[in-house]
Chain A
């Protein structure tokens, strides 16, 4: 396993979050969940970070901050989008000052759904991100994360997960 996977340093950017996701991320760092078990350090400085944890959607003012933070991270780097706001805007998607999920601005590698996601879910996300980080370090192309919808219809009962059909989601490969 790549050493990158053993020492993922995290920078967290609260990007329009209602704090719900934020504090759940904080909870991950705390004794009960203690992500430092995986070598995670919350560095607070993009230049030292491997993983960018974003919470909240993008608005007109923080879009540039998000771009700057992402840009200042040394590669290989991975973005984890925590919460539905971060994924799509969530309940705020229709607000006038919300531009949408962060995937519109920076490439996102892992989406963690939930409002807010439980710390467990975030840990899952980070563990997944660590895997992607290791792959990136080896130069393996990793696909952009997708946000599959769940569609059901009555007949034979195919409960399947199909990829999204919207134009802006076409690029999302399964």
Chain B
């Protein structure tokens, strides 16, 4: 019996955009054991949040992660608002949804690109990133920045999207939808792509439930678990159904995310159609007190903010449980038994965000 190979996979590894290490134990190229070692992006953000003014924390929360930043600030604001009984104007809610969905799209497109890169489809990566640029541009013109929108604030939003801009948004969405249509046959039907995704990294619905998987990982196993259906922000007034698949493999996760892209296009369009008039923010006075749990749906699944205020401007405790954090146990179930070639694909189809995970 030959010795097993032991290799470090990460932290500085070109297929992983983020520092994460897996200690892989392999036989030939078959992974026998994969143990994650993280902590390369742990900053201690939650602790910092306890030292800052809760208003400032909005900007801090946004920087938990650059990929899902807006929804982080949104979740935080929703939590504080609930704690302080602030009623957010309707228009602000719709605007929040619009930016959330833009963020979801940019996140999914980025994921698409990175996954394509992981299975060595360079031009698909380029195409995904190119499409994503349209969204980024949209965000820049509506919010003033490409990534860190900074538009969410306690009590509403900081910027309005004038209806005059809707035309531009619609055009951009059209072009995205067109690009997606063009990529669809490749992503969903191409032989080589399917060869790399179908049947790889499969988990059963039972396993997904036990490991507490969320977001597309859970949806790909048939759980229609999408926190947007609870109707936070303006989602209650929009019409959509969570996307699900049943196979539970990398391909199913891909399908889910790809369908969610279309869904987001649709949601933004609905927002524009249903956008109410009115103020975009209400003034907020006082300080938060008490405990609250705020939940929203991130691109990768549900995020949980536990906020504990003590009546001062500083928070007593802020805890963020991000979707990737919840998906890592599922990842650990997927890896053993796969081939080394599949490792990046499996990792990327849970769409890990280590920055979120470690905060």
**Residue positions of A touching B, CB distance < 8 A:** 11, 13-24, 26-27, 29-32, 42-46, 56-57, 59, 61-62, 65, 68-69, 91-92, 94-98, 115-116, 118
B146 touches A118 (CB 8 A): yes
C-alpha spacing A31/B85, complex, angstroms:
46
For the complex of A and B, list the 6 residue pairs with the smallest distance between their C-beta atoms, beginning with the closest. Answer: A20-B66, A44-B14, A30-B129, A19-B66, A95-B44, A97-B44
B43 touches A98 (CB 8 A): yes
Cβ of B255 within 8 Å of any chain A Cβ, yes or no, is no
> Could you write out 13 A-B pairs with CB less than 8 Å apart?
A16-B43, A18-B66, A19-B353, A23-B147, A24-B66, A32-B130, A59-B39, A59-B40, A62-B19, A65-B11, A92-B43, A95-B44, A118-B146
Contact stretch, chosen from B45-53, B283-291, B299-307, B329-337: B45-53
Contact-residue bracket for chain B: 35 or more
B130 touches A91 (CB 8 A): no
Contact stretch, chosen from B57-65, B73-81, B194-202, B263-271: B57-65
Cβ of B151 within 8 Å of any chain A Cβ, yes or no, is no
> With a CB–CB cut-off of 8 A, which chain A residues contact B18?
14, 17, 19, 22
Contact of B17 among A22, A59, A69, A94 (CB under 8 A): A22
> With a CB–CB cut-off of 8 A, which chain A residues contact B147?
20, 23-24, 116
**If A59-B40, A62-B41 touch, does A95 touch B47 (CB 8 Å cutoff)?**
yes
C-alpha spacing A11/B11, complex, angstroms:
13
C-alpha spacing A118/B146, complex, angstroms:
8
Cβ of B12 within 8 Å of any chain A Cβ, yes or no, is yes
A69 touches B12 (CB 8 A): yes
> With a CB–CB cut-off of 8 A, which chain B residues contact A94?
48, 51
Min CB distance B137 to A, Å, is 9
Which residue of B has the minimal Cβ distance to A68?
A: B12
Min CB distance A21 to B, Å, is 7
Min CB distance B288 to A, Å, is 21
**If A46-B12, A62-B19 touch, does A27 touch B63 (CB 8 Å cutoff)?**
no
**If A61-B39, A116-B148 touch, does A42 touch B14 (CB 8 Å cutoff)?**
yes
C-alpha spacing A20/B67, complex, angstroms:
6
A16 touches B45 (CB 8 A): no
Interface string of B130-142 (1 = CB under 8 A from A): 1011001000000
B59 touches A62 (CB 8 A): no
Cβ of B178 within 8 Å of any chain A Cβ, yes or no, is no
> With a CB–CB cut-off of 8 A, which chain A residues contact B63?
18, 20, 91-92, 115
B66 touches A62 (CB 8 A): no
A97 touches B126 (CB 8 A): no
A19 touches B355 (CB 8 A): yes
A91 touches B59 (CB 8 A): yes
A27 touches B355 (CB 8 A): no
> With a CB–CB cut-off of 8 A, which chain B residues contact A46?
12
Which chain B residues numbered 60 to 102 have a C-beta less than 8 Å away from chain A? 60, 63-67, 69
Min CB distance A64 to B, Å, is 10
Min CB distance A54 to B, Å, is 11
Cβ of B42 within 8 Å of any chain A Cβ, yes or no, is yes
> With a CB–CB cut-off of 8 A, which chain A residues contact B51?
94
C-alpha spacing A24/B130, complex, angstroms:
12
B43 touches A23 (CB 8 A): no
Which residue of B has the minimal Cβ distance to A98?
A: B43
Contact of B69 among A20, A57, A118 (CB under 8 A): A20
> With a CB–CB cut-off of 8 A, which chain B residues contact A21?
66
B129 touches A95 (CB 8 A): no
